[in-house]
Chains A and B, each alone.
Chain A
C-alpha cells in the first residue's frame, strides 16, 4: 500500500530565508508525486509534479522538488520565501487513479 508522510506539521520561517518541506512516501512500484498548495478557505492548486524523467522538478512560484528514489522522498524547496507563500502545502502520491495525500505542512512566513 502507498502512503505519504509529511514530516513537519508546521514550519515557521522568516521572509527571504530558504525553506524545505519534507515528504516521504512508501511504495513498491513506480510512483507519480505531486505537491499542492492551499491558501486559507480555498481549494488546492498544483505546484509541481513528478511523473518521470529528471528528478529535479520545477514548479510555479519559484518552488522546486527533488525525487529521490533511494530515500523515497520528494522534498519541496524554495531558496527565498515571501510573505505570500504562507499557506498549507500537501504532498500526494498517485495510486490507481486516486491521490493519497499527506497530512499537510503549514508554512508560516514572518516579516
Chain B
C-alpha cells in the first residue's frame, strides 16, 4: 500500500527546543517537499528536494533545516530560531517526468504546538 507517512500526528514542544518531523514515502518518487499551513494563508513552501543529497530553500526556510540522505525520507527540523513554529506541517512527494515534477502527493500532516 503505497503512500506518504508523517509522524507523529500531533506534537507538543516547549519553546527553545528543536524538534524533528518525520516524512517517509514508498512511492519511489524523486522529489519531496515540506509545507507549512497556517489558517487563511494557504500552503507555504519551506524546503524541497529534487534528488537524494540535494535540497533547496523554499519561501520560508528561516528557522528550519532538512536532510535527504535516502530517497524515501525527508525529515524536517524546526529549530529554536523559528519565531512562530506552531502550525500544521505537510510533507509531499512527486514523480519526475523528463526532469520536471508535476502533481504532488501529500501526507496526512503533523500539527506542531510550541508553548
Contacts and interface: CB of A to CB of B under 8 A. Distances in A.
Interface in B55-108: 58, 88, 90, 92, 94, 96, 100-108
Contacts of B106: 36, 43-45
B100 A97 contact: yes
Nearest to A104: B42
A97 B43 contact: no
B50 to A, nearest CB: 6
Nearest to B99: A97
Interface of B (DSSP majority class): strand
A41 B109 contact: yes
A34 interface: yes
Given A42-B109, A45-B106, A97-B48, 20 more contacts: A34-B103, A36-B106, A41-B109, A42-B108, A43-B90, A43-B92, A43-B106, A43-B107, A43-B108, A94-B102, A96-B100, A97-B50, A97-B94, A97-B101, A98-B101, A101-B42, A101-B43, A103-B41, A104-B40, A104-B42
B29 interface: no
5 shortest interchain CB distances as A-B pairs: A43-B106, A97-B101, A44-B106, A103-B42, A101-B43
20 contacts: A9-B40, A32-B102, A36-B106, A43-B108, A44-B92, A45-B106, A46-B103, A46-B104, A49-B102, A49-B103, A51-B102, A90-B42, A97-B31, A97-B94, A97-B101, A98-B33, A99-B104, A101-B42, A101-B43, A103-B42
Interface of B: 4, 6, 31, 33, 40-43, 45, 48, 50, 58, 88, 90, 92, 94, 96, 100-109, 111
Contacts of B42: 90, 101-104
Interface residues of A, number: 22
